[in-house]
Amino acid sequence: MRISDEEEARDILREAPGVMVIDKREAGGYVTLWECVGDYATFISRIRQEPARLKMGLTMVRL
């Protein structure tokens, strides 16, 4: 399965059990390590489209 659209990736990840997606396009719109302490969810932030020259699709930060 190849996902190359940021919004599609967010939608799929939001439906996954045990996953918290915090990815807003504004200052402070991502999760930090301090916010994850004591929680057993997998936090995903900063889902971004890679520049076409890299041919990698999407990148994201997982905490």
- The model's pTM is 0.67
Predicted pLDDT at 35:
82
Q: Average pLDDT for residues 20-41, to the nearest whole number?
A: 82
Contact (Cβ atoms closer than 8 angstroms) between residue 32 and residue 55:
no
Contact (Cβ atoms closer than 8 angstroms) between residue 6 and residue 31:
no
Strand 58-62 with 42-49, pairing: antiparallel
Q: What is the DSSP-derived secondary structure letter of residue 37? A: T
- For residues 19 and 54, the model is more confident at 19
